Structure 1
Amino acid sequence: MLSNRLKNVVSEVNKGNLIADIGTDHGYVPIYLVKNSIAQKAIAADISKGSCDKAQTNITLYGLNDKIDVRCGNGLEIIKDTEIVDTIIISGMGGLLTIDVLESNKKAVNNVKQLILQPQRDIEKVRAYLHNINYKIINEEMLIEAGKYYTIINAIKGIDEEYSEIEYYFGKFLLNKKSAVLKQFIDHEYKKINIVLENISSNAIENADERIAQLKHLKALYEEGLKCL
């Protein structure tokens, strides 16, 4: 039922009374968590009515209508003021959208014990945002599936020490673990940066100097990252 990516997501979830899966799609994550007694109850939420309908069908199929509540709505607005959610899961969204979702209900985020996030891009901004709202990153995992790279962030309430630029960019835990997947990702992106730099240097492109400076800074970060791995 679960892809390798989602298996890694659910493996980070602490046991709790109520979890909320935002952007649930088919509802597989809350179904797994409830069936395996990791969550007593769950909220399966999505902004898409089609996804909500698919999730409801699957939840009914597994006989979990009394334990999983499907809610169609925007972000964390679906969480009621009276509800205390133990874990919020947001996987498969862009990093900036992930931040917007967390901003949509600050009360819910302040009350939650754990955030499991799997942003698709702008991951360094998500890490910085977590620190800004007093969440401590306690683990990260990185995997490759169907040719795509995925990073999963596990964070709990607490004050974390500020990261260096390279730690925000690549993840302190992944660097410390000397993640083989992270190294593969950096190698891949480093080659792409060099190709782009060559093309910009040989073509008249508007604002080329500014873009070249950005890419050279990024290239230096990747080189520093590789040294750590």
Structure 2
Amino acid sequence: MVLRFAAAALLLLLGTGPVTAQQARRAPATNWVNVVAKTPEGGFRQGNPNAPIKLVEYGSRTCPTCGHFAAEGVEPLRREWIASGKLSYEFRDFLIHGVPDLSLALLNQCVPTARFFPVLDQIFANQKAFDEPLHKLIDTQPKTVEAWQQLPPAQAATKFAEALGMLSFMNARGLPEAQARRCLANPALIKGIAGVNAGGANAGVQGTPSFFVNGRRVRAFTWDQLQPELRAADS
């Protein structure tokens, strides 16, 4: 009785009372799709940080298979797994195509954290806008491409971003060109992305996409192949 009175008195002093069942029902559930953070490993995580299932993708923005996964798998992944809080999804860069991947990775990391995944989605959806001019450049100016690849990373990333229309693409998505150029030349960002890439290589990643479920690498490259792995982790 004394303890009950003390608790009631404390609630009165705080200006609150016990939460009723009706109030609890009114409390909105968290949509974990909207919760995004940069991780200590250098990736970007969408979803509940304490989710029992943790999915990590090592991906490349110029990788066609990654683009197919983004088109087919990301929407159901968010709707069926991330939104409820039972799974978190982390994207980590693996620069399978070298400097063009670095350019896009740097620019994607220039936007506010909350915008990382919407911009990533748009990069994948417009993948051909970068791939086609890149292949044309390789076919028609191979010596130029080779020379650019020998430049310091910041200069090389800027050259490819200019040639492949990345600056205008990002400007249309709210990133001013001057800011984009600063990001392309940011040594801390370059070092961070290189570290993520090295971490993937140390984990045995050789191609993209590579998926890890709760730290275990799974043999899956498509949404159809990944779903059974997620269901097994959920059982």
**Interval containing the TM-score (normalised by the shorter chain):** under 0.3
Higher strand share: 1
Bigger relative contact order, structure 1 or 2, given CA contacts below 8 A and separation 6+?
Answer: 2
Higher normalized helix content (fraction of residues)? 2
Q: Which has the larger radius of gyration?
A: 2
